[in-house]
Amino acid sequence: MLDNPAKPLVSVRDLKMHFPIYSGLLRRRVGEVKAVDGLTFDVMEGETLGLVGESGCGKSTAGRAVLRLYDITGGQIEIDGREIGNTPQSQLRDLRPTMQMVFQDPQASLNPRMTVEAIIREPLDEHTTLTPMEKREKVAELMDAVGLNRKFAARYPHAFSGGQRQRIGIARALALNPKFIVCDEPIAALDVSIQAQVVNLLEDLQEKFGLTYLFISHDLSMVRHIATRVAVMYLGKIVELADRETLFAAPLHPYTKALLSAVPEPDPALARNTNRIILQGDVPSPSNPPQGCNFCTRCPAVMDICKQVEPEYREVKPRQFAACHLYNET
Question: Where along the sequence are the contacts to other proteins (CB under 8 A)?
Answer: 64, 67, 69, 92-94, 96-97, 99-101, 103-105, 108-115, 122-123, 126-127, 151-152, 154-156, 158-159, 169, 172, 176
Q: Is residue 224 classed as helix, strand or coil in its secondary structure?
A: helix
Minimum CB separation of residue 111 from other proteins in Å reads 5
- In the complex with other proteins, the residue whose CB is nearer, 36 or 306, is 36
- CA 284/CA 237 separation, integer angstroms: 13
- In the complex with other proteins, the residue whose CB is nearer, 67 or 316, is 67
- In the complex with other proteins, the residue whose CB is nearer, 152 or 327, is 152
Conformational region of residue 118, where left means phi above 0, alpha means psi within -120 to 50, and beta covers everything else: alpha
- In the complex with other proteins, the residue whose CB is nearer, 151 or 272, is 151
Number of helical (H) and strand (E) elements in the chain, helices listed first: 11, 12
- In the complex with other proteins, the residue whose CB is nearer, 92 or 302, is 92
Minimum CB separation of residue 176 from other proteins in Å reads 8
> For residue 185, which amino acid is it?
E
Helix ranges (H only) for the chain are 59-66, 89-92, 116-127, 132-145, 162-174, 192-209, 220-226, 244-249, 254-261, 268-273, 326-329
Minimum CB separation of residue 75 from other proteins in Å reads 19
Minimum CB separation of residue 45 from other proteins in Å reads 21
**Whole-angstrom Cα Rg for the chain:** 21
- In the complex with other proteins, the residue whose CB is nearer, 126 or 315, is 126
Conformational region of residue 38, where left means phi above 0, alpha means psi within -120 to 50, and beta covers everything else: left
Q: Is there a contact between 32 and 287 (Cβ–Cβ < 8 Å)?
A: yes
- CA 96/CA 69 separation, integer angstroms: 10
Q: Which residues of 313-323 are buried (b: 16+ CB within 10 A; e: fewer)?
A: beebeeebbbb
- In the complex with other proteins, the residue whose CB is nearer, 69 or 145, is 69
Q: How far is CA 104 from CA 5, 74, 188, 322, in A?
A: 29, 25, 7, 28
- In the complex with other proteins, the residue whose CB is nearer, 67 or 226, is 67
Minimum CB separation of residue 17 from other proteins in Å reads 15
Pick from 205, 214, 207: nearest CA to 171:
205
Minimum CB separation of residue 217 from other proteins in Å reads 17
Minimum CB separation of residue 269 from other proteins in Å reads 43
Minimum CB separation of residue 105 from other proteins in Å reads 6
